[in-house]
Amino acid sequence: MEIQSIKQRFGIIGNSPLLNRAIDVAIQVAPTDLTVLITGESGTGKEVFPKIIHQSGSRKHGHYIAVNCGAIPEGTIDSELFGHEKGSFTGAHEARKGYFEVADGGTIFLDEVAELPLSTQVRLLRVLETGEFLKVGSSKVVKTNVRVVAASNVNLPKSIEEGKFRQDLYYRLNTIPVLIPPLRDRKDDIYLIFRKFTTDFAEKYRMPPLRLTEDAQVVLKNFYWPGNIRQLKNITEQVSIIEKEKMIDSATLRKYLPSGHTSELPVLYKNKEESFSERELLYKVLFDMKKDMTELKKIVLELIENGDDHDNIEETKALLVKDFGTDLIVPDKHEAPSVKIHRPDDIDSDHEHEDFDHSEIIEESLSLQDKEREMIKMALEKHRGKRKNAANELGISERTLYRKIKEYNIK
């Protein structure tokens, strides 16, 4: 059966290659009895694909039962799926057949399968492996021949790691995976689906259909659509009912779109392999600043060597402080200038890397060492020997200060 005829039969709109691939897999697996796991975000239309599989296979004349596993209370889910005997629990006034018994020879669609309790997952695994189950309150084995199609909008491998879903059940369900793409990955289909909804609502409410200006079409296409097709349908209905003017521009459309969900905004994605701590990000910034400081010091040295007056040097110093958060130490004309980098206060001084010294010197000289020794002594005297306060005053870490005190033999 061709993809286009399936789209017409089940009301599927769009020409995305990802969508066509999902439909093709469903068609190919339909004649078999293999278990299928449909995954995709909420609102992508996963509930259509079990119908495609059922209606396109040999079981199309059997029962088709769709079960929302997340909507059934945990205390009654086993009874709903597998049935119970009379008197097996309070309120069981008569025996009842479960869905797996009723759907014998047909198809069961287990939506939100990740919501099943672990005890029910064990029962389901037995049905998938042997075709047998026990009713609640019974010791008699019941056989069934049911095709199972499951769907989930959560990350099942993650649920397995968290102990919420059985790994053996996952592999048994995931015999044939079908991935339904989110709406944001079908950008060219968004306006086509929107037009279908506007036509439907125009007929339903007996009003002219909505139309979008070109800029509004761009907004519609670039929106992130976290709720996918379901969200697009709801917003289309809202605009159809509320707006009297049926030609909708971008400003009007934006009023109905939640802020903060546009594909044009940058997205930060973190996983276990690619994650940066705050410290690592700060180190990266400091490395970049280090490169900039080298260039700045060369410029300042050229100013001094060219005999620029004191006002120009002071002006350069002010710009450095304003734009880069640095202090320019201007020595005598024959000495090399240095730039002190103010590091963020939240860097842990005990683990600070030695590469981040408080100054970068183009050319080491005895006079600069003397000046550094004097500054350390002054800071220690000012804070009465408290090294932590002295280090903060100098803009260096305690570790660096200890090293300098030992190096200069400061008492």
Give tens-digit pLDDT for 343-357.
444 444 444 444 444
Q: From the CB of residue 113, how many other CB atoms can be counted at a distance below 10 Å?
A: 26
Q: What is the pLDDT of residue 348?
A: 46
pLDDT for res 308? 53
Per-residue pLDDT band for 262 (boundaries 50, 70, 90) equals low
Q: pTM value? A: 0.63
Could you read off the pLDDT of 321-344 as tens digits, one per residue?
Answer: 555 555 545 444 444 455 454 444
pLDDT score of 318 more than 50: yes
Q: What is the pLDDT of residue 408?
A: 80
3-state secondary structure of 264: coil
At residue 310, does pLDDT exceed 80? no
Work out the percent of the chain whose per-residue pLDDT is above 70: 73
Q: Is the pLDDT of residue 245 over 50?
A: yes
pLDDT band at 365 (very low <50, low <70, confident <90, very high): very low
Mean pLDDT of 395-400: 81
How confident is the model over 397-404, as a mean pLDDT? 81
Residue-wise DSSP of 2-37: -HHHHHHHHT-----HHHHHHHHHHHHHTTS---EE
Asked if the model's pLDDT at residue 393 lies above 90, the reply is no
The whole-angstrom separation of Cα 325 and Cα 318 is 10
Please give the Cα distance from 111 to 285 (Å, whole number).
48
pLDDT single digits (tens) 111-144: 999 999 999 999 999 999 999 999 999 999 999 9
Q: Average of pLDDT values for 260-267?
A: 48
Residue 277, pLDDT score = 44
Residue-level pLDDT at 284: 53
- pLDDT value of residue 91: 82
Q: How far apart are CA 243 and CA 237, in angstroms?
A: 10
Tell me which residue of 208, 148, 200, 211 sits closest to 176, measured CA to CA: 148
The better pLDDT of the pair 282, 145 is held by 145
The CATH number assigned to the domain with range 188-254 reads 1.10.8.60
Give the C-alpha distances (Å, rounded to integers) separating 271 from 274, 275, 276.
5, 6, 10
Distance of CA 333 to the CA centre of its chain: 56
In this prediction, residues 293-312 reach a mean pLDDT of 63
Which band of pLDDT confidence, cut at 50, 70 and 90, is reported for residue 276? very low
Span of 42-46, 178-182, 187-191, 359-363 with lowest mean pLDDT = 359-363
Mean pLDDT of 198-219: 96
Whole-number percent of the chain with pLDDT over 90: 60
What's the confidence (pLDDT) of residue 261? 57
pLDDT at 317: 57
Matching CATH number, 3-181, of 3.30.9.10, 2.40.30.170, 3.40.50.300, 3.40.50.720: 3.40.50.300
> Is 376:400 a contact under the CB 8 Å cutoff?
no
Task: Specify the range with the lowest mean pLDDT, choosing from 47-51, 155-159, 374-378.
Answer: 374-378
Q: Is the pLDDT of residue 383 over 60?
A: yes
User: With 70 as the cut, is the pLDDT of residue 16 above it?
Assistant: yes
> Residue 337 burial (CB < 10 Å; 0-12/13-18/19+)?
buried
As a whole number, the mean pLDDT across the chain is 82
Would the pLDDT of 295 be above 70? Answer: no
- The pLDDT tens digits for 49-97 are 999 999 999 999 999 999 999 999 998 999 999 999 998 888 888 999 9
- How do the domains of the chain map onto residue ranges? 3-181, 188-254, 278-408
Say whether 241 sits in a helix, a strand or coil: helix
